[in-house]
Every structure is written in C-alpha cells, then in structure tokens.
C-alpha cells in the first residue's frame, strides 16, 4: 500500500502494527459490510459532486437521518 | 485539481477507513486551526470536538476502546491512542454560527448522525403566524447542520486526494506527537 493510500491509523503509528481488519480489504477483498458500503456511497457521492461542482445530495444516502428520526 | 487525481480505485480501497480518517483530520483541524471554517456560502462557522471522542484499537476479543469525555484539554488520552494505531470511531461535534449552536454525534463507521440538537426553536405560535413557520424553521436548522458536515467532508476529500495530503499528514503526525 503506498503512503497516499494508507489509512491514518497506519500512517500515524511510530511503530506500525496491524490496526485494520483483514476482512476490510477493498476491491478483491472480502465482501463489504453494510457500513463499508455506506462509507463508499458517501465518498463516491462527494467525489461526484466535486467533479460537477454541485452540492452533495445525500437524500437517499445510507446513514442519513430522516426528519422523522430527529 | 484534475479529474485524474480522483482515483476511484484508491477511493474504494480507502472507503472503509474514510470516516475514521475524516474524524481524525477534523479533530486535528479543530485543535490546530481554531476550528473556524468558511463555507461556500461565505458564512463562517466554528466547529469543535466536544467532550466525547472514542478511539478504538484491536479487533474481536482484543478490542480496546478509549473514550475521553472531559473538556477539550483532556482529550489528550484519546490523542495518545492515535500513536498506537487506535482509530477515531465517533465524535461529538459542536457547530457554531453567530449566536446559534448545534450539537451532533457522528459515527465514523457509517457516517450516521445521532443526537442532533439544533438551536432552540420556540414552537409557540403568535397570533396570525403561519402554522408551518416553526416547523420549517426547525427543518432549516437541521438541514444547516447537515450542510456543514457535508461541506467539511467534501473539503477533506479534496485534500485527501490532492498532492497536498502528504504535507497535511506530516502536520497531523506532528500534532499527534506533540
């Protein structure tokens, strides 16, 4: 994993030790859990909005509260 | 930033950790940059990590969580955890704009927001007032908090995928070790 793609929990350690689940591998790893899919959806939506310079529409993004839940 | 710099393969590799990294970065920015952010609307907001930050290391039976629930100055214990590979799992944020303040809990794992408190809205209607007005005000305040979180995350993503990330990483490393 190159340094630019290294998660902070690895990059910040003085003496690197495993801090990630093996099952959390990205493409080619284990199937993503719901949470990781939610993370990916959020990240992808944000990246797309930056490409198009439009506000992030997260109306249907996983994990977002509905007004009823407030 | 060019489109090429948004490497979607890299993004998909990072995605399981992006929430943790975002909260770590936000914590760093609020402690070292005074927590002031100018939004695209030109509004300036103050963002602070409030009282409660959880960091977690290990997995399964070796899972170890450290939670700091004191004032900002006492978050040192949680910050020390970052040196040993712990990850920020959730944080309570306080957002301030002028005299208004919001509080919310943000979970790194799935970006879920909970315990959202908006500035108080007096729900008592005055004579002749539109009955929807107070409800709409409350919705506006909820939306405002979500907008701030979205903008902060978008700012993080821009930086995370830019060449400037290495410089930021060095600064974060210095902060963790300070």
Do B167 and B41 contact (CB within 8 A), yes or no?
Answer: no
Sole residue written with tokens 């909005």: A49
> Are A3 and B161 in contact, with CB atoms under 8 Å apart?
no
Q: How far apart are CA B113 and CA B105, in angstroms?
A: 6
Q: Which residue has the tokens 């039976």?
A: B61
What are the chain B neighbours of A18 within 8 Å (beta carbons)?
A: 85
pLDDT at B104: 95
Query: CA–CA separation, B177 vs A38, rounded Å?
Result: 32
**B159 three-class SS:** helix
The rounded distance, in Å, linking the Cα atoms of B115 and A33 is 24
Average pLDDT over residues B123-136: 83
* Inter-chain CB proximity A8 and B10 less than 8 Å: no
Q: Give pLDDT, residue A65.
A: 53
The residues, any chain, with a CB within 8 Å of residue B69's CB and separated by 6 or more, are B51, B52
pLDDT band, very low/low/confident/very high, at B67 (cuts 50, 70, 90): low
* Residue ranges making up the domain that contains B169: 5-177
SS3 content of chain B, % helix, strand, coil (to 5): 45, 25, 30
What's the alpha-carbon Rg for chain B, to the nearest Å?
18
Number of domains composing chain B: 1
**ipTM of the shown complex:** 0.72
Q: Which residues in chain A are closer than 8 Å to B5, comparing Cβ atoms?
A: none
Q: pLDDT higher for B62 or A43?
A: A43
Q: What confidence category does residue A52 fall into, taking pLDDT thresholds of 50, 70 and 90?
A: confident
Q: Which two tokens stand for residue A34?
A: 């719901």
- Best A3, A18, A39 member to test B by mutation, with max B CBs in 10 Å, is A39
Handedness of CA B3, B4, B5, B8 (dihedral sign): positive
pTM: 0.80
Q: CA distances (Å), B78 to each of B10, B14, B58, B75, in order?
A: 28, 23, 15, 5
Residues from chain B that touch A47, judged by Cβ atoms under 8 A, are 6, 8, 11, 157, 161
């Amino acid at each position: 994993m190159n340094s630019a793609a290294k998660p902070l929990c690895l990059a910040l350690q003085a003496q690197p030790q495993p801090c990630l689940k093996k099952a959390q591998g990205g493409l080619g790893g284990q199937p993503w859990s719901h949470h990781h899919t939610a993370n990916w959806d959020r990240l992808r939506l944000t990246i797309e909005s930056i490409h198009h310079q439009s506000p992030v529409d997260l109306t249907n993004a996983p994990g977002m509260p509905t007004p009823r839940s407030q | 930033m060019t489109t090429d710099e948004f490497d979607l393969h890299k993004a998909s590799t990072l995605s399981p950790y992006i929430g943790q990294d975002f909260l770590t970065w936000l914590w760093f920015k609020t402690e070292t940059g005074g927590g002031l952010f100018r939004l695209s609307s030109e509004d300036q907001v103050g963002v602070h990590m409030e009282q409660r930050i959880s960091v977690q290391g290990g997995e399964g039976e070796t899972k170890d969580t450290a939670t700091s629930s004191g004032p900002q100055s006492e978050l040192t214990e949680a910050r020390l955890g970052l040196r040993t590979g712990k990850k920020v799992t959730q944080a309570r944020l306080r957002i301030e704009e002028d005299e208004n303040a919001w509080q919310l809990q943000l979970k790194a794992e799935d970006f879920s927001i909970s315990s959202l408190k908006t500035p108080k809205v007096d729900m008592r209607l005055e004579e002749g007032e539109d009955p929807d007005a107070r409800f709409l005000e409350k919705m506006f305040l909820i939306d405002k908090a979500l907008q701030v979180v979205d903008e902060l995350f978008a700012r993080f993503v821009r930086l995370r995928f830019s060449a400037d990330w290495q410089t930021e990483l060095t600064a974060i490393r210095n902060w963790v070790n300070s």
